[in-house]
Amino acid sequence: MLIDSHCHLDRLDLTAYNGCLDSALQAARERGVKHFLCIGISVENAPTVRAFTERYADVDCSVGVHPLDLSRGSEPTMQWLLDELNHPGVVAVGETGLDYHYQSETAQMQQDSFRLHLDAARKCGKPVIVHTREAKQDTLALLREAALSQAGVMHCFTEDWPMAKAALDLGYYISFSGIVTFRNAAALREVALQVPSDRILVETDSPYLAPMPHRGRPNFPEYVVDVAKFVAELRGVTYEKFAAQTTDNFKRLFPLARVAG
């Protein structure tokens, strides 16, 4: 059993599945992927991801506003976040965080939103899903300031070991996507070797960042198997053991998720 801990089901290119999300999910299930966490990125897509949790027993979701979506749609408010987080299918806060690679000019807006999400996580007791890119120091500073007891996950991690260690020390989990399989990701593979076995997750971030050997094509939740097999081999453990460990980690981090078994 394996879990895709971060996917965007509402953004999948379903051409290969004749436009049918059911078929895409079934393809993943047939490869042993038994649960999916669908991620909220905006006020506008929250109803869609919530609806997936009502339609599929093996899909849970998060709600939040991605740092790069703050200037594209409605800005979140605390009341909106808390109302959305009250839905039984919503098991986490986010995706939130900081991204200075594309929109460094919106740094203050991003920081304000990140603080808002972290405060909402404190109020509701649900873990937070953190996006960070080229914002290492500010991300860690805000996480330390929040000092959340339930912490969360650094998703699609691409930073160095010192940042990973700092996040781990704050109680966060580290999740690896298909990027870890890329030929130019040697430094990231070194990080993947050092993360403790009880704090590691895998994800697709589909439809983005398809792992080798699918790179350059649309990504799907079924490809989380390829990520997990790669990381398992890298760490010198069997795929079965690694899949079981990451499943246990997911269930511990997201205790409200409806994971079978």
- pLDDT in the model for residue 148: 96
- pLDDT in the model for residue 102: 83
Check if the beta carbon of residue 178 is closer than 8 Å to that of residue 211. Answer: yes
Alpha-helical regions (H) of the chain: 21-29, 46-55, 78-85, 100-103, 107-124, 136-146, 161-169, 186-194, 224-235, 239-253
- pLDDT in the model for residue 75: 84
- pLDDT in the model for residue 74: 78
Question: How far is residue 92's CA from residue 95's CA, in Å, rounded to a whole number?
Answer: 9
- pLDDT in the model for residue 71: 77
- pLDDT in the model for residue 261: 72
| Distance between first and last Cα of the chain | 10
What's CA 48's distance to the chain center, in Å?
17
Q: Which of 62, 192, 226, 49 is nearest to 130 (CA)?
A: 62
pTM assigned to the model: 0.96
DSSP per-residue string spanning 158-177: -S-HHHHHHHHHTT-EEEE-
- pLDDT in the model for residue 119: 98
CATH 3.20.20.140 describes domain 2-253:
yes
Q: What is the pLDDT along the chain (261 residues), one digit of tens a residue?
A: 999 999 999 999 999 999 999 999 999 999 999 999 999 999 999 999 999 999 999 999 999 999 999 978 778 999 999 999 999 999 999 999 999 988 888 899 999 999 999 999 999 999 999 999 999 999 999 999 999 998 999 999 999 999 999 999 999 999 999 999 999 999 999 999 999 999 999 999 999 999 999 999 999 999 999 999 999 999 999 999 999 999 999 999 999 999 987
Domain ranges of the chain: 2-253
